[in-house]
Chain A
Amino acid sequence: NAGVTQTPKFQVLKTGQSMTLQCAQDMNHEYMSWYRQDPGMGLRLIHYSVGAGITDQGEVPNGYNVSRSTTEDFPLRLLSAAPSQTSVYFCASRRDSNQPQHFGDGTRLSIL
Chain B
Amino acid sequence: AQSVTQLGSHVSVSEGALVLLRCNYSSSVPPYLFWYVQYPNQGLQLLLKYTSAATLVKGINGFEAEFKKSETSFHLTKPSAHMSDAAEYFCAVRLSASKIIFGSGTRLSIRP
Contact partner, B43, options A31, A58, A105, Cβ 8 Å = A105
Known contacts A90-B44, A103-B45, A106-B43: does B97 contact A97 (CB below 8 Å)?
yes
Q: Is A34 an interface residue (CB 8 A)?
A: no
Interface residues on A, range: 20 to 34
Contact residues, B89-111 vs A (CB, 8 A): 90, 94, 96-105
Contact partner, B99, options A48, A104, A106, Cβ 8 Å = A48
Q: Is A33 an interface residue (CB 8 A)?
A: yes
Contact partner, B90, options A43, A104, A106, Cβ 8 Å = A43
Docked complex Cα distance between A94 and B35 (Å): 15
Interface residues on B, range: 20 to 34
Contact partner, A59, options B42, B44, B97, B101, Cβ 8 Å = B101
Docked complex Cα distance between A44 and B102 (Å): 7
Q: Is A42 an interface residue (CB 8 A)?
A: yes
Chain A: minimal CB distance from B1 (Å): 11
Contacts of B44 in A (CB 8 A): 43, 90, 92, 101, 103
Contact partner, B105, options A35, A42, A50, Cβ 8 Å = A42
Contact B102 A104 (CB under 8 A): no
Contact residues, B1-60 vs A (CB, 8 A): 4, 6, 9, 32, 34, 36, 41-46, 49, 51
Contacts of B99 in A (CB 8 A): 45, 48, 58
Docked complex Cα distance between A58 and B98 (Å): 10
Docked complex Cα distance between A45 and B101 (Å): 7
Docked complex Cα distance between A48 and B100 (Å): 10
Residue of A nearest to B35 (CB): A100
Chain A: minimal CB distance from B7 (Å): 13
Contacts of B97 in A (CB 8 A): 50, 97
Contacts of B45 in A (CB 8 A): 103
Contact A33 B32 (CB under 8 A): no
Contact residues, A40-62 vs B (CB, 8 A): 40-45, 48, 50, 56, 58-59
Contact A31 B104 (CB under 8 A): no
Contact B105 A97 (CB under 8 A): no
Residue of B nearest to A94 (CB): B100
